A and B are shown apart, each in its own frame.
Chain A
Amino acid sequence: MASGVLFAAAGEVGKGFIHERTSETLPCQAKPSHLFCWDWARQNIDRFGTPALQQFELVAISVAVGFAVAFALALLAHRRRWLRPPLLAGTGVLYAIPSIAFFLLLLPITGRGRETAIIALSAYTLQIIYRNVTVGLSNVPASAKDAARGMGMTERQILWRVELPLATPEIVGGLRIATVSTVAIATLAVFAHAGGLGTQIFTEANLHFPTSILIAGGIAMLMALSFDAILLTVQRFATPWRRVRAS
């Protein structure tokens, strides 16, 4: 049974914890029809603190690593056109591997733990960020680059003073998509024994008692929305010229 394999892979993290932690069985636990048990949530909310923090760290580190690599690759491809097709294909392949398979494939190579999860999660962000940086750079008006070159900017000055500032909306846009999707995928990090909110989702007990899944899912959603809101704010402050157009 597929789910059996998965829960085995998820390991001991969440095994039977509901019964270990709660001495008496709450009334709503007995009824499987009950979607959400408030009493249980109140008593057990502190269990989610550490997994949420782990999840946050996984996302922040993975997106940062992914951004650094993808940004460097995009700048490389910007200078050397011939690198574009192989880079797009390469990042695309990484993105196409099913997430769980990725974690499981990495386990024999990099072992259990956070590094494995971070490698897989960063690999997923590469394609989105790489593509958005590339699109952002190619959307820069040719006339602005022509003027910049004609007034005596060096290639490096054109890149940092003209092209990258003008590509900011696309770059941050890529970061937003990458971050939000990484928050979701990072719940699977539990299969690499890297903790995270997945520990509160992938347990055998939850099949009959979804309250824990709902809480973990809710936290993940809030986390994704917060990341997105922060990045959106950064983008608005970093690109004041885009706000004036409406006026």
Chain B
Amino acid sequence: MPSEEVTDERSNSGASAVRYEGATKRYGDSSVAAVDALTLEIPAGEICVLVGPSGCGKTTAMRMVNRTVEMSEGDILIGGESVRDRDAARLRREIGYVIQQIGLFPHRTIAQNIAAVPQLLGWKKERTEARTAELIELIGLDPELGGRYPAQLSGGQQQRVGVARALAADPLVMLMDEPFGAIDPINRERLQNEFLRLQAEIGKTVLFVTHDIDEAIKMGDRIAVMREGGKVAQYATPAEILMDPADEFVEDFVGADRALKRLALMRVADIDLWKAPLAYVGQPTAEVRAKLASPDVEVPYPLLVDSERRPLGWLSERDLRADVVPSRPDSPLGPLLDRDDVMRDALADLLQGEAQYAAVADHQGRIAGVLSVEIISEFLGSPEAKTEEHGAVERPHG
């Protein structure tokens, strides 16, 4: 997008747009640039993920923003202001900084760690304490842990504190360098989800570095795929990158399973579900059999629901031989999905439950339809999967 279009340099939510203008870094006397004339526009309040193979210059590109790496050429503007014109230490206090190694201060308590930047900024004690308490709550930590030392916390808890510390002085921009890279997969997923929920509330401009394309797709509003030598191969939304890779490098990097990866961008609600023939307890089975016989039925078994239309289980042939629908179905319900589940997780649930299809419930727990492996594989094979834009991962901002 042409830069003149961006008028909202600094949104009212306290986030600033970041603009790379030919930013270049050469280490020492090296003739090869670690980052080569990077030009990139990150709108205020969005998460931009820098992704690429190891050594391609992601960290260097990110660190030029807070000048922990000094640019050789070019410029970076935050909210229209050049970082070069700023005193480095003051600039950094306005930018949140999260690193993979977390880097909590071992000799300071959790509360003191979170209060580090407010302290540097000379905040009053009451204000700092109030802010610290607020952040401990925001990251879902037991307030009692505020008095503990980092060594007493788990890795996941420590990284949450790392994020809270970076947010303490309400920074205009957040820099996050593989923040969840050292966390085990289960906790990483949890931390990712928590951060997305947090971001929906706080709407910061975030530069997020990872080498994991799945994480990039999940976290990014936009993704900059970088290649060796600090060049951007493609800068686009996750959906665009999956559907329309700019070149062979991006295509390779995204992987052959990019159709499958698109499932990470969709929610169950975004796809047309099957309708199951419903059966109520005590209903004559003849009625149910009649429903099954109708041609537009897509599921061969009736789904037993209660009076609130909440799914209870599947009826078998044997159940239907009785006169009325029994209160206990022959086969259990199996996986129950939510309309808001990410499609990839839904598929995983289906496979894990060794089920061909599963009931999908709405927010009230009422039946919304049936998702089947067949629906998903049809979707993956359809031209729609490759061309049509689904705005499925839109997250509320601000």
Are the CB atoms of B117 and A165 closer together than 8 Å? no
Q: With A and B bound together, what is the CA distance between A244 and B90 in angstroms? A: 34
Instruction: Out of B99, B108, B120, name the residue touching A146 (CB < 8 Å).
Output: B99
**Which of the segments A99-107, A121-129, A150-158, A191-199 contacts the partner chain?**
A150-158
How distant is A163 from chain B, measured CB to nearest CB, in Å? 10
How distant is B343 from chain A, measured CB to nearest CB, in Å? 37
Are the CB atoms of B103 and A152 closer together than 8 Å? no
B101 located at the interface, meaning its Cβ lies under 8 Å from any Cβ of chain A in the complex: yes
Q: Quick one: which of B93, B106, B162, B165 has the most chain A CB within 10 A?
A: B106
**Which of the segments B23-31, B147-155, B270-278 contacts the partner chain?**
B147-155
Chain A residues within 8 Å of B166, by CB: 151
Cβ-closest chain B residue relative to A145? B103
Instruction: Out of A143, A165, A240, A241, name the residue touching B101 (CB < 8 Å).
Output: A143
Interface size on B, residues (CB 8 A): 29
B68 located at the interface, meaning its Cβ lies under 8 Å from any Cβ of chain A in the complex: yes
Q: With A and B bound together, what is the CA distance between A150 and B91 in angstroms? A: 10
Instruction: Out of A146, A157, A244, name the residue touching B103 (CB < 8 Å).
Output: A146
Q: With A and B bound together, what is the CA distance between A149 and B175 in angstroms? A: 13
Q: With A and B bound together, what is the CA distance between A245 and B150 in angstroms? A: 10
Q: With A and B bound together, what is the CA distance between A166 and B165 in angstroms? A: 19
How distant is A211 from chain B, measured CB to nearest CB, in Å? 49
Are the CB atoms of B97 and A151 closer together than 8 Å? yes
* A-B residue pairs, 6 tightest by C-beta: A147-B103, A143-B101, A152-B92, A152-B93, A150-B97, A143-B103
Q: Which residue numbers of B lie inside 8 Å of A, CB to CB?
A: 66, 68, 88-93, 97, 99, 101-108, 116-117, 120, 148-149, 151-152, 162, 165-166, 175
Are the CB atoms of B103 and A141 closer together than 8 Å? yes
Chain B residues within 8 Å of A157, by CB: 120
Chain B residues within 8 Å of A239, by CB: 107
Are the CB atoms of A144 and B104 closer together than 8 Å? yes
Interface residues on A, range: 20 to 34
> Which chain A residues (224-247) contact chain B, with CB distance < 8 Å?
239-241, 244-245, 247
Q: With A and B bound together, what is the CA distance between A148 and B104 in angstroms? A: 9
Q: Given contacts A162-B105, A245-B151, are A151 and B93 in contact (CB under 8 A)?
A: yes
How distant is A124 from chain B, measured CB to nearest CB, in Å? 30
Instruction: Out of A143, A153, A244, A245, name the residue touching B99 (CB < 8 Å).
Output: A143
**Chain A: interface secondary structure?**
helix
Q: Which residue numbers of A lie inside 8 Å of B, CB to CB?
A: 141-154, 157, 162, 165-166, 239-241, 244-245, 247
Are the CB atoms of B92 and A150 closer together than 8 Å? yes
Chain A residues within 8 Å of B92, by CB: 149-152
Q: Given contacts A165-B107, A241-B107, A244-B151, are A147 and B120 in contact (CB under 8 A)?
A: no
Are the CB atoms of B97 and A147 closer together than 8 Å? yes
Query: Beyond the given A143-B101, A152-B117, could you list 18 further A-B residue pairs with CB under 8 A, ordered by the A residue number?
Result: A143-B99, A146-B68, A146-B103, A147-B102, A147-B103, A148-B103, A150-B175, A151-B97, A152-B88, A152-B93, A153-B89, A154-B89, A157-B120, A166-B105, A241-B106, A244-B151, A245-B151, A247-B152
Chain A residues within 8 Å of B108, by CB: 241
Q: Quick one: which of A141, A150, A151, A165 has the most chain B CB within 10 A?
A: A151
Cβ-closest chain A residue relative to B106? A241
